[in-house]
Structure 1
Amino acid sequence: MTAEIPDKLYFKIGEVAEITGIKAHVLRYWEAEFPVFSPQKSRSNQRLYRRRDIETALLIKDLLHRQRLTIAGAKKILNRKTAGGGDAPPPVQSAKNRRIIDEIRRDLERLRDSLSSTPDSH
């Protein structure tokens, strides 16, 4: 999550899409799926995202795309972390922990592949 977020109070959906690399229709879908991700709306019903909304979108993107969680799994993590932590989005895992998890995931995939290619001994 190293996107550069400009120093502004509010962002339109197109700006958020550009900053995060997430398409506008996906952002709208995530609003329906993740209650913690809910931008304000202007009088003309235009979405107005704040910095924390962008940070939350980047966190959701990380959970779904890089950590490969399901929507349900990402919801559980977000709900668990925000239950005791106010408005701020939860911090992402440290780079070291991510590398360890990625390495374990690769090891498990190799093990699964080797087991599926081994003829059954029964």
Structure 2
Amino acid sequence: MADKAEGAFLTISELADDLGLPQHILRYWESRFPQLRPLQRAGKRRYYRPEDVALARKIHSLLNQEGYTIKGVQKLLGNKANGATATAAPAPAPAETGSFTDIGALRRIRAQLADALASA
């Protein structure tokens, strides 16, 4: 968001506008992804911390740009899906621009994803 300082908390309407989604989608994601837990103040007003914003952006990207299902994203994020423990490890944080990428780590992640898809 251009009008707020980086690291500032966002309201649900600000985050929804930023992602181009209706607010009820963010509330639904909160019910499906336990990691997405914004602060709630008086009147149940939600405030998304920078880590919540990053997670919401990641979920949005996986669902709407990469074609994952809710269940697939839950597995990628390491949730318990339908009572079974997910086998996929959480996705690593994106590397900083210009930093060295460990090809071995990428291959391990690829293998974990392939295992998760095979067991689905």
TM-score between both structures, scaled by the size of structure 2 = 0.61
Correspondence 1:81 to 2:90: yes
Deviations 1:33-85 (A, max 9, x none): 11111111002211111111111111001111111111111001011217xxx
Tell me how far 1:18 sits from its aligned partner. Answer: 1.3
Aligned match of 2:51: 52
- The unaligned stretches of length 5 or more in structure 2 are 79-88, 96-105, 107-120
Tell me how far 1:91 sits from its aligned partner. Answer: 3.0
Rounded Cα–Cα distance in structure 1 between residues aligned with 2:44 and 2:66: 33
- Code of the aligned partner of 1:67: E
- The unaligned stretches of length 5 or more in structure 1 are 83-89, 98-122
Correspondence 1:64 to 2:63: yes
Aligned match of 2:93: 91
Tell me how far 1:22 sits from its aligned partner. Answer: 2.0
Task: Determine which structure has the larger strand proportion and give its number.
Answer: 2
**Highest Rg: 1 or 2?**
1
Higher RCO, 1 or 2 (CA under 8 Å, sep at least 6)? 1
> CA 1:92–1:75 in structure 2 vs 1: closer, same or farther (change >3 Å)?
farther
TM-score between both structures, scaled by the size of structure 1 = 0.60
Paired positions, count = 85
Rounded Cα–Cα distance in structure 1 between residues aligned with 2:94 and 2:20: 18
